[in-house]
Structure 1
Amino acid sequence: MSEQQQAIDKALKTKAPKDVVLAFLYNTDKSRVAIASEKLVAEDAIYTSLNFNNPELKQIEPWAGTSTGRDVYIYTFSNVGTYWTIDDFQITDILAEDETVAVFGQFTYTSVYAKRTFTSPFSIKAIVKDGLITYFQFMEDTYASAASFRVSGEWTIQQNADPKLNFTVSETTAN
């Protein structure tokens, strides 16, 4: 039996929030996320990815924002595995208190088409009730993840009332 399946079996047996979240995270690759979601995610679970509602970011990362339903989990994690190669994913800390689980770590992804690699910290807040994830909020360095798709262009930045202090950020100035 695989380590991923063992994690699911343990979560189904204990229903402990920490076990449920870990089992889900161990099974988020494209080939397993549907199975994990069916067993570990409530049918009406809420998923908040990166922000509550940002239409511009949603154009870049279509799963961004808040959505409801088990299928959102499958859609999100399947697409992550389509848009990026997952080079590394490390959980450094996991804390659980009652139904709430907090997970911290870092990951390194490479965009499939632009071939840009980035490393980001991540944090997750999850709520588990009766052995099922009912809420999942995933936060990361959204600027780095979106920029991994950049193939050209620049932004003019104004952080100050004085427009003379404006500057541009582009592929060549980012390094």
Structure 2
Amino acid sequence: MSVIEAFFTALKSGDPDRVLPMIAEDAIIVGVRGKADPRLPIYGTYRGREGMRAFLGELRKAFDTEAFEVDEMLESEALGFASGRFRHRVRHTGRLFVSTWALRAKLADGKIAHYLFFEDTAALEAAFGVSTAEEAA
């Protein structure tokens, strides 16, 4: 089983302890955007296995996941990609967040060393009822 496939299998279990062995001790985890924003708790850069645990905790606090599908996976020794689609309900607004997604993971020694997740940030912000557009200008 590839690293990316094993990662998503462990992720679907809902147990972060099954995910952490696939994360390098000094990994960098970018939750959609590298800069943290207290209004969007999944934004930010997390470090190492405990960073991944914190990131997954933010996801669980923010969303009720109604669907999460992995459609494609590709992997070489140094790089992994995956893509799919999901539907989350934002817990504090009750709004749906529906998006396609992609993951780019740099791999080292059979572990994820750099995790970067892409999704529709405009849809995320709308579901949370916030906008960062003014800050980007």
TM-score range, shorter chain: 0.7 to 0.9
Give the TM-score, by structure 1 length.
0.67
Question: Residues 119 and 60 (structure 1 numbering): CA distance in 2 closer, same or farther, change over 3 Å?
Answer: same
Paired residue secondary structure (2:113): strand
Are the structure 2 counterparts of residues 87 and 97 from structure 1 closer, same or farther at C-alpha, using a change threshold of 3 Å?
A: same
1:133: which partner in 2? 112
* TM-score, normalised via structure 2 length: 0.84
Matched, 1:60 2:58: no
1:133 CA displacement: 1.1
Percent identity, aligned pairs only? Answer: 23
Structure 2 gap ranges (5+): none
1:112 aligns with 2:91: yes
RMSD: 2.5
> In the comparison of the two structures, how many residue pairs are matched?
134
1:76 to 30, 55, 73: 55
Secondary structure of the equivalent of 2:53? helix
**Which residue of 2 is the match for residue 48 of structure 1?**
30
Give the drift of 1:67: 2.8
Q: Which runs of 5+ in 1 are unaligned?
A: 1-9, 11-18, 158-175
Where in structure 1 do 4 or more consecutive aligned residues deviate above 6 Å?
153-157
Q: Deviations over 1:70-117 (max 9, x none)?
A: 111111112212211001011111111231011111100001121111
Structure 1 residues 48 and 154, CA, compared in 2 at 3 Å: closer, same or farther? closer
Could you tell me how far apart the structure 2 residues matched to 1:146 and 1:68 are? 24
User: How far off is 1:49 after superposition?
Assistant: 1.6
Contact 1:100/1:126 (<8 A) preserved = yes
Instruction: Map 1:162-173 to 2 at 5 A.
Output: none
